[in-house]
Amino acid sequence: MDVRSSRNVLYSCRYHVVWCPKHRRAVLRDGIDTRLVSVIGAAVEAKDAELVEVGVHADHVRLLVGVDPQFGIHRLVKHIKATSSRVLREEFPSLRSRLPSLWTNSYFVATTGGVPLCTIKRYIESQGR
**109: helix, coil or strand?**
strand
Tens digit of pLDDT per residue, the chain (129 long)?
678 887 788 888 899 999 999 999 999 999 999 999 999 999 999 999 999 999 999 999 999 999 999 999 999 999 999 999 999 999 999 998 888 899 999 999 999 876 777 888 888 888 866
Rounded Cα gap, residues 36 and 28, in angstroms: 8
Q: Count of domains in the chain?
A: 1
Q: Give the CATH number, domain containing residue 70.
A: 3.30.70.1290
Helices and strands, counts by H and E, the chain = 4, 6
Q: What is the DSSP string of 42-85?
A: HHHHHTT-EEEEEEEETTEEEEEEE--TTT-HHHHHHHHHHHHH
What is the span of the domain harbouring residue 8?
A: 4-126
**Of the candidates 74, 98, 70, 93, the residue with the CA atom closest to the CA atom of residue 17:** 74
pTM of the model: 0.86
What sign does the dihedral 84-39-72-119 (CA atoms) show?
positive
